[in-house]
Amino acid sequence: MMARTYRITTLGCRVNRADSISMEREFAGIGYRKADPGEVPDVWVVNTCAVTAAGMRKSRKAVRRCAQSGSNIIVTGCAPELEPETFERTKGVHAVVKNPEKSELVTIASELEGSSDNPVVWRCDELVRVPVKVQDGCGRFCTYCVVPYVRGKPESRELPEIIEDVRELRDAGAGEVVICGIDLGSYRDAASGAGLNVLVEKVIENAGEMWVRLSSIELSDVDDRLLEMMNEEHALCTYIHVPLQSGDEVVLSDMGRNYSPQWFRRRVGEIRDAVPGAGISTDVMVGFPTEGKEAFDSTRSLMEDIGFSRVHVFKYSPRPGTEAFTLGDTIDPAVKNMRAGELRRVARDSAARFHRDMVGRIILVLVEGPMESEAGYVFGRAENFAGIVIKGGRELVGKKLPVRVTGSGPRWLYGGPAEAEV
Protein backbone atom coordinates (compact mmCIF):
# COMPACT_ATOMS: atom_id res chain seq x y z
CA MET A 1 0.00 0.00 0.00
CA MET A 2 1.32 3.44 -0.90
CA ALA A 3 1.99 5.76 2.03
CA ARG A 4 -0.83 8.10 2.90
CA THR A 5 0.06 11.80 2.73
CA TYR A 6 -0.53 14.77 5.00
CA ARG A 7 0.02 18.50 5.09
CA ILE A 8 -0.12 20.87 8.07
CA THR A 9 -0.95 24.56 7.69
CA THR A 10 0.08 26.48 10.80
CA LEU A 11 -1.12 29.92 11.84
CA GLY A 12 -0.19 32.00 14.87
CA CYS A 13 2.50 31.56 17.48
CA ARG A 14 5.72 29.61 17.73
CA VAL A 15 4.05 27.20 20.18
CA ASN A 16 1.59 26.28 17.44
CA ARG A 17 4.53 25.62 15.12
CA ALA A 18 6.10 23.37 17.75
CA ASP A 19 2.80 21.50 18.05
CA SER A 20 2.77 21.03 14.27
CA ILE A 21 6.29 19.59 14.33
CA SER A 22 5.15 17.08 16.97
CA MET A 23 2.24 16.10 14.70
CA GLU A 24 4.67 15.59 11.81
CA ARG A 25 6.63 13.09 13.92
CA GLU A 26 3.43 11.25 14.81
CA PHE A 27 2.23 11.13 11.20
CA ALA A 28 5.56 9.60 10.17
CA GLY A 29 5.15 7.03 12.92
CA ILE A 30 1.92 5.70 11.36
CA GLY A 31 3.37 5.60 7.85
CA TYR A 32 2.29 8.98 6.46
CA ARG A 33 4.63 11.12 4.37
CA LYS A 34 4.46 14.87 3.96
CA ALA A 35 2.73 15.80 0.71
CA ASP A 36 4.93 17.37 -1.96
CA PRO A 37 4.29 20.98 -3.02
CA GLY A 38 1.25 21.04 -5.29
CA GLU A 39 0.17 17.55 -4.25
CA VAL A 40 -3.28 17.23 -2.70
CA PRO A 41 -2.77 15.42 0.63
CA ASP A 42 -5.00 12.68 1.98
CA VAL A 43 -5.20 14.54 5.31
CA TRP A 44 -4.82 18.29 5.69
CA VAL A 45 -4.48 19.70 9.22
CA VAL A 46 -5.14 23.39 9.82
CA ASN A 47 -3.57 24.46 13.13
CA THR A 48 -5.39 27.71 13.85
CA CYS A 49 -4.92 30.93 15.86
CA ALA A 50 -7.47 32.94 17.84
CA VAL A 51 -5.38 35.44 19.82
CA THR A 52 -6.88 38.38 17.91
CA ALA A 53 -9.95 38.95 15.76
CA ALA A 54 -7.60 39.14 12.76
CA GLY A 55 -6.17 35.74 13.72
CA MET A 56 -9.68 34.28 13.78
CA ARG A 57 -10.47 35.72 10.34
CA LYS A 58 -7.26 34.28 8.89
CA SER A 59 -8.03 30.91 10.46
CA ARG A 60 -11.55 30.77 9.02
CA LYS A 61 -10.22 31.79 5.60
CA ALA A 62 -7.46 29.17 5.70
CA VAL A 63 -9.91 26.40 6.61
CA ARG A 64 -12.28 27.34 3.77
CA ARG A 65 -9.41 27.46 1.29
CA CYS A 66 -7.97 24.11 2.34
CA ALA A 67 -11.44 22.51 2.34
CA GLN A 68 -11.72 23.21 -1.38
CA SER A 69 -8.91 20.71 -2.03
CA GLY A 70 -11.02 17.63 -1.39
CA SER A 71 -8.67 16.43 1.37
CA ASN A 72 -9.83 15.14 4.71
CA ILE A 73 -9.67 18.41 6.66
CA ILE A 74 -8.92 18.39 10.39
CA VAL A 75 -9.15 21.71 12.21
CA THR A 76 -7.26 22.17 15.48
CA GLY A 77 -5.58 24.91 17.48
CA CYS A 78 -7.14 27.82 19.35
CA ALA A 79 -9.91 28.93 16.96
CA PRO A 80 -12.16 25.86 17.57
CA GLU A 81 -11.96 26.57 21.29
CA LEU A 82 -13.91 29.79 20.67
CA GLU A 83 -16.05 28.90 17.66
CA PRO A 84 -16.35 25.10 17.37
CA GLU A 85 -19.66 25.31 15.50
CA THR A 86 -18.16 27.58 12.83
CA PHE A 87 -15.69 24.89 11.81
CA GLU A 88 -17.98 21.94 12.38
CA ARG A 89 -20.40 23.52 9.88
CA THR A 90 -17.74 24.37 7.30
CA LYS A 91 -18.21 22.25 4.20
CA GLY A 92 -15.33 19.83 3.71
CA VAL A 93 -14.21 19.74 7.36
CA HIS A 94 -14.10 16.15 8.57
CA ALA A 95 -13.00 16.63 12.20
CA VAL A 96 -12.51 19.40 14.75
CA VAL A 97 -9.90 18.68 17.42
CA LYS A 98 -9.56 21.07 20.36
CA ASN A 99 -6.22 21.87 22.00
CA PRO A 100 -6.49 19.38 24.89
CA GLU A 101 -7.08 16.58 22.37
CA LYS A 102 -4.23 17.47 20.01
CA SER A 103 -2.35 14.35 21.08
CA GLU A 104 -5.23 12.30 19.61
CA LEU A 105 -5.25 14.08 16.25
CA VAL A 106 -3.10 11.60 14.35
CA THR A 107 -5.23 8.72 15.66
CA ILE A 108 -8.29 10.53 14.34
CA ALA A 109 -6.55 10.96 10.97
CA SER A 110 -5.82 7.24 10.81
CA GLU A 111 -9.50 6.51 11.44
CA LEU A 112 -10.35 8.70 8.43
CA GLU A 113 -7.70 7.40 6.04
CA GLY A 114 -6.13 4.33 7.60
CA SER A 115 -2.51 3.83 8.61
CA SER A 116 0.48 1.64 7.86
CA ASP A 117 2.70 -0.63 9.92
CA ASN A 118 5.70 0.79 8.05
CA PRO A 119 6.82 4.08 9.66
CA VAL A 120 8.19 6.80 7.39
CA VAL A 121 11.57 8.27 8.28
CA TRP A 122 10.79 11.74 9.64
CA ARG A 123 13.13 14.64 9.11
CA CYS A 124 12.39 18.15 10.29
CA ASP A 125 12.23 20.54 7.34
CA GLU A 126 13.16 23.44 9.61
CA LEU A 127 16.73 22.61 10.55
CA VAL A 128 17.80 26.22 11.01
CA ARG A 129 15.67 27.59 13.86
CA VAL A 130 13.47 24.92 15.45
CA PRO A 131 10.95 25.58 18.25
CA VAL A 132 10.68 23.07 21.08
CA LYS A 133 7.61 23.48 23.27
CA VAL A 134 8.31 22.99 26.96
CA GLN A 135 5.10 24.38 28.46
CA ASP A 136 1.48 25.11 27.52
CA GLY A 137 -1.38 27.05 29.06
CA CYS A 138 -1.53 30.25 31.11
CA GLY A 139 -3.04 31.29 34.41
CA ARG A 140 -2.32 35.01 34.31
CA PHE A 141 -5.70 36.07 32.89
CA CYS A 142 -4.75 39.49 31.53
CA THR A 143 -8.09 41.18 30.97
CA TYR A 144 -7.75 41.46 27.16
CA CYS A 145 -6.34 38.00 26.52
CA VAL A 146 -8.23 34.93 25.38
CA VAL A 147 -5.24 32.58 25.64
CA PRO A 148 -5.99 31.16 29.13
CA TYR A 149 -9.45 30.20 27.87
CA VAL A 150 -8.26 28.48 24.70
CA ARG A 151 -5.02 26.95 26.04
CA GLY A 152 -6.10 26.01 29.56
CA LYS A 153 -4.15 26.01 32.80
CA PRO A 154 -0.33 25.90 32.80
CA GLU A 155 1.17 22.48 32.18
CA SER A 156 4.83 21.59 31.70
CA ARG A 157 6.47 18.79 29.77
CA GLU A 158 8.83 16.42 31.55
CA LEU A 159 12.46 17.53 31.47
CA PRO A 160 13.91 14.21 30.13
CA GLU A 161 11.40 14.28 27.24
CA ILE A 162 12.46 17.83 26.30
CA ILE A 163 16.15 16.92 26.41
CA GLU A 164 15.47 13.94 24.13
CA ASP A 165 13.92 16.35 21.58
CA VAL A 166 16.94 18.64 21.85
CA ARG A 167 19.39 15.80 21.28
CA GLU A 168 17.42 14.60 18.26
CA LEU A 169 17.60 18.08 16.71
CA ARG A 170 21.30 18.36 17.57
CA ASP A 171 22.05 15.04 15.90
CA ALA A 172 20.00 16.07 12.85
CA GLY A 173 22.17 19.18 12.43
CA ALA A 174 19.78 21.95 13.48
CA GLY A 175 21.35 25.38 13.83
CA GLU A 176 19.27 26.72 16.70
CA VAL A 177 16.67 25.52 19.18
CA VAL A 178 14.05 27.95 20.50
CA ILE A 179 12.63 27.12 23.94
CA CYS A 180 9.00 28.16 23.79
CA GLY A 181 5.82 28.07 25.84
CA ILE A 182 2.63 30.01 26.32
CA ASP A 183 3.82 31.22 29.74
CA LEU A 184 7.46 30.19 29.61
CA GLY A 185 8.40 31.45 33.06
CA SER A 186 5.89 29.11 34.72
CA TYR A 187 7.81 26.00 33.59
CA ARG A 188 8.14 23.33 36.32
CA ASP A 189 9.23 19.74 35.84
CA ALA A 190 6.70 17.62 37.75
CA ALA A 191 9.22 14.98 38.88
CA SER A 192 12.11 17.16 40.03
CA GLY A 193 10.49 20.55 40.56
CA ALA A 194 13.11 22.08 38.26
CA GLY A 195 12.20 25.52 36.95
CA LEU A 196 13.13 27.41 33.82
CA ASN A 197 16.74 28.09 34.81
CA VAL A 198 17.52 24.40 35.29
CA LEU A 199 15.74 23.58 32.05
CA VAL A 200 17.83 26.14 30.13
CA GLU A 201 21.04 24.85 31.70
CA LYS A 202 20.21 21.27 30.68
CA VAL A 203 19.24 22.31 27.14
CA ILE A 204 22.53 24.18 26.73
CA GLU A 205 24.47 21.14 28.05
CA ASN A 206 22.84 18.92 25.41
CA ALA A 207 22.64 21.36 22.48
CA GLY A 208 26.12 20.77 21.08
CA GLU A 209 26.79 23.43 18.44
CA MET A 210 23.18 24.58 18.32
CA TRP A 211 22.35 28.04 19.56
CA VAL A 212 19.79 28.10 22.36
CA ARG A 213 17.25 30.92 22.40
CA LEU A 214 14.30 31.81 24.60
CA SER A 215 10.93 32.61 23.12
CA SER A 216 8.64 35.30 24.60
CA ILE A 217 8.82 35.58 28.38
CA GLU A 218 7.38 37.93 30.98
CA LEU A 219 9.97 40.43 32.21
CA SER A 220 9.23 39.45 35.83
CA ASP A 221 10.50 35.93 34.99
CA VAL A 222 13.86 37.15 33.65
CA ASP A 223 16.11 36.68 36.67
CA ASP A 224 19.82 37.32 37.05
CA ARG A 225 20.72 33.65 36.46
CA LEU A 226 19.22 33.76 32.98
CA LEU A 227 21.28 36.86 32.25
CA GLU A 228 24.42 35.13 33.56
CA MET A 229 23.81 32.28 31.11
CA MET A 230 23.87 34.80 28.24
CA ASN A 231 27.44 35.67 29.18
CA GLU A 232 28.79 32.16 29.72
CA GLU A 233 30.62 29.91 27.27
CA HIS A 234 28.15 27.83 25.21
CA ALA A 235 25.73 30.53 26.21
CA LEU A 236 22.08 31.39 25.88
CA CYS A 237 21.49 33.73 22.94
CA THR A 238 21.72 37.41 23.85
CA TYR A 239 18.14 38.22 22.95
CA ILE A 240 14.96 38.49 24.92
CA HIS A 241 11.33 39.25 24.01
CA VAL A 242 9.41 40.78 26.91
CA PRO A 243 5.81 42.01 26.32
CA LEU A 244 5.19 45.59 27.47
CA GLN A 245 1.61 46.15 26.13
CA SER A 246 1.30 49.71 27.48
CA GLY A 247 3.44 52.45 28.97
CA ASP A 248 0.64 53.89 31.08
CA GLU A 249 0.20 52.84 34.70
CA VAL A 250 -3.60 53.01 34.71
CA VAL A 251 -3.98 51.10 31.45
CA LEU A 252 -1.53 48.44 32.67
CA SER A 253 -3.66 48.03 35.80
CA ASP A 254 -6.83 47.80 33.69
CA MET A 255 -5.11 45.15 31.56
CA GLY A 256 -4.23 43.09 34.63
CA ARG A 257 -0.51 43.57 34.03
CA ASN A 258 1.18 43.56 37.43
CA TYR A 259 4.01 46.04 36.93
CA SER A 260 4.56 49.75 36.53
CA PRO A 261 6.17 51.54 33.56
CA GLN A 262 8.93 52.73 35.89
CA TRP A 263 9.77 49.20 36.99
CA PHE A 264 9.75 47.94 33.38
CA ARG A 265 12.15 50.70 32.28
CA ARG A 266 14.48 50.05 35.22
CA ARG A 267 14.59 46.29 34.69
CA VAL A 268 15.35 46.65 30.97
CA GLY A 269 18.21 48.95 31.94
CA GLU A 270 19.56 46.29 34.30
CA ILE A 271 19.43 43.72 31.50
CA ARG A 272 21.39 46.03 29.20
CA ASP A 273 24.00 46.58 31.91
CA ALA A 274 24.32 42.83 32.47
CA VAL A 275 24.32 41.84 28.76
CA PRO A 276 25.71 44.68 26.61
CA GLY A 277 24.44 44.60 23.02
CA ALA A 278 21.52 42.31 23.82
CA GLY A 279 18.50 42.52 21.55
CA ILE A 280 15.38 43.39 23.54
CA SER A 281 12.05 43.27 21.72
CA THR A 282 8.47 43.69 22.84
CA ASP A 283 4.74 43.68 22.08
CA VAL A 284 2.72 46.88 22.42
CA MET A 285 -1.05 47.25 22.14
CA VAL A 286 -2.92 50.35 21.00
CA GLY A 287 -6.62 51.06 21.40
CA PHE A 288 -7.34 49.35 24.71
CA PRO A 289 -10.77 50.68 25.84
CA THR A 290 -9.33 52.86 28.64
CA GLU A 291 -6.41 54.20 26.60
CA GLY A 292 -6.93 57.95 26.29
CA LYS A 293 -4.58 60.34 24.50
CA GLU A 294 -2.41 60.91 27.58
CA ALA A 295 -2.11 57.18 28.14
CA PHE A 296 -1.07 56.68 24.53
CA ASP A 297 1.48 59.50 24.84
CA SER A 298 2.93 57.71 27.88
CA THR A 299 3.35 54.53 25.85
CA ARG A 300 5.06 56.37 23.01
CA SER A 301 7.35 58.18 25.45
CA LEU A 302 8.34 54.95 27.21
CA MET A 303 9.08 53.26 23.88
CA GLU A 304 11.29 56.19 22.88
CA ASP A 305 13.13 56.05 26.20
CA ILE A 306 13.76 52.30 26.15
CA GLY A 307 14.62 51.96 22.45
CA PHE A 308 13.63 48.35 21.74
CA SER A 309 15.44 46.46 18.99
CA ARG A 310 12.12 45.22 17.59
CA VAL A 311 8.47 45.97 18.39
CA HIS A 312 5.29 44.15 17.42
CA VAL A 313 2.55 46.79 17.45
CA PHE A 314 -1.00 45.48 17.33
CA LYS A 315 -4.49 46.90 17.75
CA TYR A 316 -6.83 45.86 20.52
CA SER A 317 -9.73 43.68 19.47
CA PRO A 318 -12.45 42.57 21.92
CA ARG A 319 -12.25 38.86 22.66
CA PRO A 320 -15.48 37.22 23.90
CA GLY A 321 -15.17 35.79 27.39
CA THR A 322 -12.40 38.09 28.56
CA GLU A 323 -12.89 40.63 31.34
CA ALA A 324 -12.14 43.57 29.03
CA PHE A 325 -14.86 42.47 26.60
CA THR A 326 -17.44 44.14 28.85
CA LEU A 327 -15.67 47.49 28.31
CA GLY A 328 -16.61 47.46 24.63
CA ASP A 329 -14.44 48.69 21.78
CA THR A 330 -14.42 52.40 22.57
CA ILE A 331 -11.48 53.68 20.52
CA ASP A 332 -12.32 54.75 16.96
CA PRO A 333 -10.65 52.51 14.33
CA ALA A 334 -9.08 55.56 12.67
CA VAL A 335 -7.53 56.55 16.00
CA LYS A 336 -6.22 53.01 16.49
CA ASN A 337 -4.65 53.11 13.04
CA MET A 338 -3.06 56.49 13.73
CA ARG A 339 -1.66 55.36 17.07
CA ALA A 340 -0.34 52.11 15.60
CA GLY A 341 1.36 54.09 12.82
CA GLU A 342 3.01 56.43 15.32
CA LEU A 343 4.36 53.57 17.42
CA ARG A 344 5.64 51.76 14.34
CA ARG A 345 7.54 54.93 13.40
CA VAL A 346 9.09 55.02 16.88
CA ALA A 347 9.92 51.31 16.54
CA ARG A 348 11.62 51.86 13.17
CA ASP A 349 13.73 54.67 14.60
CA SER A 350 14.87 52.61 17.60
CA ALA A 351 15.59 49.57 15.41
CA ALA A 352 17.66 51.75 13.10
CA ARG A 353 19.74 52.97 16.08
CA PHE A 354 20.20 49.41 17.34
CA HIS A 355 21.40 48.28 13.92
CA ARG A 356 23.60 51.34 13.36
CA ASP A 357 25.58 50.52 16.50
CA MET A 358 26.60 47.20 14.94
CA VAL A 359 28.11 48.64 11.73
CA GLY A 360 31.83 47.86 11.44
CA ARG A 361 31.68 44.86 13.74
CA ILE A 362 32.23 41.21 12.89
CA ILE A 363 29.35 39.08 14.16
CA LEU A 364 28.47 35.39 13.99
CA VAL A 365 25.39 34.78 11.84
CA LEU A 366 23.15 31.75 11.35
CA VAL A 367 21.98 31.79 7.72
CA GLU A 368 18.24 31.08 7.43
CA GLY A 369 17.54 31.09 3.71
CA PRO A 370 17.75 32.84 0.34
CA MET A 371 16.27 36.32 -0.01
CA GLU A 372 13.15 36.03 -2.15
CA SER A 373 13.35 39.68 -3.18
CA GLU A 374 17.07 39.83 -3.95
CA ALA A 375 18.69 37.14 -6.10
CA GLY A 376 22.19 36.19 -5.02
CA TYR A 377 21.63 37.13 -1.36
CA VAL A 378 20.75 35.19 1.78
CA PHE A 379 19.25 36.24 5.09
CA GLY A 380 20.53 35.34 8.53
CA ARG A 381 20.32 36.36 12.16
CA ALA A 382 22.88 37.15 14.83
CA GLU A 383 22.63 35.88 18.40
CA ASN A 384 20.92 39.14 19.39
CA PHE A 385 18.32 38.43 16.65
CA ALA A 386 19.45 41.26 14.40
CA GLY A 387 18.65 40.24 10.82
CA ILE A 388 21.32 40.64 8.17
CA VAL A 389 21.40 40.39 4.37
CA ILE A 390 24.53 38.72 3.01
CA LYS A 391 25.73 38.12 -0.52
CA GLY A 392 25.72 34.38 -1.11
CA GLY A 393 23.79 31.34 -2.28
CA ARG A 394 21.68 28.50 -0.93
CA GLU A 395 24.81 26.55 0.04
CA LEU A 396 25.19 28.87 3.06
CA VAL A 397 21.77 28.01 4.53
CA GLY A 398 22.06 26.46 7.99
CA LYS A 399 25.68 27.51 8.42
CA LYS A 400 27.09 29.83 11.06
CA LEU A 401 29.65 32.20 9.66
CA PRO A 402 31.44 35.38 10.72
CA VAL A 403 30.06 38.40 8.89
CA ARG A 404 31.41 41.94 8.75
CA VAL A 405 28.55 44.43 9.07
CA THR A 406 28.92 47.10 6.39
CA GLY A 407 25.56 48.87 6.47
CA SER A 408 22.28 49.14 8.32
CA GLY A 409 18.67 50.27 8.13
CA PRO A 410 15.53 50.01 10.24
CA ARG A 411 14.70 46.48 9.04
CA TRP A 412 18.07 44.75 9.00
CA LEU A 413 21.83 44.90 8.56
CA TYR A 414 23.96 44.39 5.48
CA GLY A 415 27.32 42.66 5.30
CA GLY A 416 29.56 40.01 3.84
CA PRO A 417 31.51 36.96 5.02
CA ALA A 418 34.58 37.83 7.06
CA GLU A 419 37.70 35.76 7.49
CA ALA A 420 38.43 37.04 10.97
CA GLU A 421 37.45 35.13 14.09
CA VAL A 422 34.38 36.38 15.94
What is the secondary structure of 362-377 as a DSSP string? Answer: EEEEEEEEE-SSSTTE
Q: State whether residue 338 is helix, strand or coil.
A: helix
Cβ–Cβ under 8 Å, residues 381 and 358: no
What is the model's pTM?
Answer: 0.92
Q: Residue 96 class from Cβ within 10 Å (0-12 exposed, 13-18 middle, 19+ buried)?
A: buried
pLDDT at residue 2, as a whole number: 67
Domains of the chain (ranges plus CATH)? 5-113 (3.40.50.10330), 124-237 (3.30.750.210), 240-357 (3.30.750.200), 362-417 (2.40.50)
Q: State whether residue 404 is helix, strand or coil.
A: strand
pLDDT at residue 420, as a whole number: 47
pLDDT in tens, the chain (422 residues): 567 899 999 999 999 999 999 999 999 988 999 999 999 999 999 999 999 999 999 999 999 999 999 999 999 999 999 999 999 999 999 999 999 999 899 999 988 887 776 777 777 667 799 999 999 999 999 999 999 999 999 999 999 999 999 999 999 899 999 999 999 999 999 999 999 999 999 999 999 999 999 999 999 999 999 999 999 888 899 999 999 999 999 999 999 999 999 999 999 999 999 999 999 999 999 999 999 999 999 999 999 999 999 999 999 999 999 999 999 999 999 999 999 999 999 999 999 999 999 999 999 999 999 998 888 999 999 999 999 999 988 899 999 999 999 999 999 999 998 864 44
pLDDT at residue 115, as a whole number: 75
What is the secondary structure of 248-273 as a DSSP string? Answer: -HHHHHHHT--S-HHHHHHHHHHHHH
pLDDT at residue 233, as a whole number: 80
